[in-house]
Amino acid sequence: MKYLYVFIIVLCWSINPFLKKIITKNIQPIEYNIYSNTLVFMYLIMFSLYQNKYNMSDITINIANKLSKNQIGIMMVVSILTLVPSYLMVVLNKKYSVSGITAVVQSLSIIATTIIGVVYMGEPISMTKIGGILMTSLGIYLLQ
């Protein structure tokens, strides 16, 4: 099941920037983000209502019952860390080659995630990971 989910995520993340580029030919990036996030919010509300109707999960509006103040603060930061790059990717994809920008951004994201995981989260580092970082760095260089 894990690999099916990974496949779906990769497929969606690969197709999405090209579709965003088509849409933003006629609207500004901020307009795209407003419309897109509004639609996402509506989809989530409909999905949660469906789940609650059929008792598939217990979704509540009052997150203070489930999360601490610290976790709510972290959620606010996570929301900003989702919105800012989403907006900036739309801006970059509107002006530049989608495949070029996406390849560089995703490669650098892999490197940054690995470094953050090792340095701040105490995840183990191996020679294989170091080799992967070096090969990814070489790939970014070659893409430029």
Model pLDDT for residues 111-130, shown as the tens digit of each residue: 899 999 999 999 999 999 89
Hey, is 96 helix, strand or coil? coil
Per the domain annotation, does 85 fall within a domain?
A: yes
Mean per-residue pLDDT over the chain, rounded: 89
Predicted pLDDT at 56: 66
Residue 47 lies in a domain: no
Q: Estimate the share of the chain in helix, then strand, then coil, as percent rounded to the nearest 5.
A: 80, 0, 20
Tell me what the mean pLDDT of segment 83-92 comes to: 93
- Residue ranges of the alpha helices (H) in 54-119? 69-95, 98-119
Domain of 13 in residue numbering reads as 2-29+68-143
Is residue 97, in this structure, part of any structural domain at all? Answer: yes
Residue 123 lies inside a defined structural domain of this protein: yes
Residues 38-69 have pLDDT tens digits of: 999 999 888 888 877 777 666 777 778 888 99
User: What's the chain's Rg over C-alpha atoms?
Assistant: 19
Q: How many domains does the chain have?
A: 1
Quick one: which of 81, 90, 77 has its CA closest to 24?
Answer: 90
Residues 6+ apart with CB under 8 A from 64: 72
User: For residue 48, is it within any domain?
Assistant: no
> d(Cα 115, Cα 89) in Å, to the nearest integer?
22
Q: Is residue 125 part of a domain?
A: yes
> Tokens 């900003």 label which residue?
80
Residue 50 counted as domain residue = no
In a domain, 61, yes or no: no
